[in-house]
Chains A and B, each alone.
Chain A
Amino acid sequence: MSATAVCHAVQLGDWRQLLAVIWDFLSLSLFSLGGGNTLLTEYHRMAVDQYCWLSSRQFADIYAIAEAAPGPSSMIVGLLGMGAAVKEGPLWGLFSGLMAEIAILLPSTLLMVAAALSWNRTLNSPGRVAFERGLGPVTLGILFAVGLKILRISDHDTPAYAVSLVVCVLMLRTKISPLWFMAVAGLMGALGLVNR
């Protein structure tokens, strides 16, 4: 990738840069529609294009790890934060991962607390109806854009696209656990049937 020549990786030792990164996650938090997956293209832009923490290829790996691991897949932010600082040592990686995760969760959590304590007013207002009906289709469009982006950074040849399409169809038509798809695809990778 030639992009690595263009931008310089942010060093955690530079506190102004660290604060800028934390601010970026804080300000994205409230734009996480539909459960957080809508933010993935922004994460990619930040981590790969803007701050150069990761290559596009590493981003695809990290997305897969966050999906495969137990717990909410939105914890990918912790891995992005780790990627930003892990070159400076494992402890910096852990610290940076934790900071990134706290930053992305803090604003939405505070808003959620406020909502939980006043929920009946929230639920019956016309604004809530309009919000749900209106933002739903926007979320749909964003999710398709996110899906296409992940597809583009993950797959580079016909066999890879074929596996992705089959998995996509099986995800929609069956209730098989996604872990099986990842296990089978991982085996195919090990055997050299799919490549980068």
Chain B
Amino acid sequence: MADGAAQPTHWQLFIGMQQVALSSFGGGLSAWSERIVVEQRQWMTKEEFITGLTVARLFPGPNQINMAVYIGSRFRGLTGAIAALFGMLLLPFSLLMLLGLGYFYLHEILAVDRVLAGVITASAGMALSMGFKIAGAYSRDPVAMLLAGASFLAMTVFHVRLVPLVLVAGPLAMAWYWPRGEQR
């Protein structure tokens, strides 16, 4: 843990993560998380934070939610994780639920529907960009591109479900990329 800083209490974890959630209204959750946890509150060093982010990205679950859980549990175990998680989600989730109620009760209004008809074309473009965003990391590795192509075809053309796909392709890919001494 960072020098000179006391271990945050459950309440401080809750408030700190709420501050992250509030600051990031409009985007940049990851950057705000680092600014508040490392620079302002000095709960962790930058290295500790990056290690946490690596673990958060590696494990299943949304990255930023995992990061809150990581921070909470490093200081206060399971209950600390819950405090951090509540801090991170309470306000955004409440707001989203309000938006949701608004949507389900108002979406049949013509004006709302027409605006949404436009908005979804933008969000579809955003969804399409997700793959391209990380594709660069693999484009020089033919085996990786083969794996990616096969996974894509399995889902789109052969309608393979996600869980069996991951259970079959995952172990095969892991076996291929298992570190083999000095050769790799």
Contact = CB atoms under 8 A, between A and B. Distances in A.
Interface of A: 27-42, 45, 58, 60-72, 74-75, 78-79, 82-83, 86, 90, 93-94, 97-98, 101, 105, 107-109, 111-113, 115-117, 119, 122-123, 126-151, 154-155, 160-161, 163-168, 170-172, 177-179, 181-182, 184-190, 192-196
A41 B85 CA distance: 26
Contact of A141 (B125, B143, B147): B147
B122 A163 contact: yes
A106 to B, nearest CB: 10
Given A75-B89, A112-B81, A132-B58, A189 B116 contact: yes
B125 A36 contact: no
A190 B58 CA distance: 41
Contacts of A165: 125, 128
Nearest to A63: B123
Given A113-B77, A137-B151, A146-B130, 17 more contacts: A30-B60, A65-B99, A72-B64, A86-B101, A108-B62, A111-B61, A115-B59, A116-B52, A119-B55, A122-B58, A133-B173, A133-B177, A137-B173, A141-B154, A155-B121, A164-B125, A189-B116
A190 B118 contact: yes
Interface string B131-158: 1111101100101110111111111100
B158 to A, nearest CB: 11
Nearest to B149: A141
B122 A185 contact: yes
A28 B60 CA distance: 10
Contact of A135 (B66, B107, B170): B170
Given A129-B179, A138-B170, A31 B60 contact: yes
| Shortest Cβ-Cβ A-B pairs, 8 listed | A189-B118, A71-B92, A167-B125, A141-B151, A108-B61, A134-B173, A185-B122, A154-B124
B61 A172 contact: no
Interface stretch (B5-13, B21-29, B35-43): B21-29
B120 interface: yes
What DSSP secondary structure best describes chain B's contact surface? Answer: helix
A146 B132 CA distance: 12
Contacts of A30: 60
A137 B144 contact: yes
B126 interface: yes
Given A60-B124, A72-B29, A105-B65, A123 B55 contact: yes
B177 A194 contact: no
B119 interface: yes
A35 B67 CA distance: 11
A35 B54 contact: no
Nearest to A73: B62
Contact of A168 (B26, B96, B132, B161): B132
A151 B126 CA distance: 9
A63 B107 CA distance: 14
Interface in B58-105: 58-66, 69-70, 73-74, 77-78, 81, 85, 88-89, 91-93, 95-97, 99-101, 103-105
B125 A168 contact: yes
B134 to A, nearest CB: 6
A112 to B, nearest CB: 4
B147 A182 contact: no
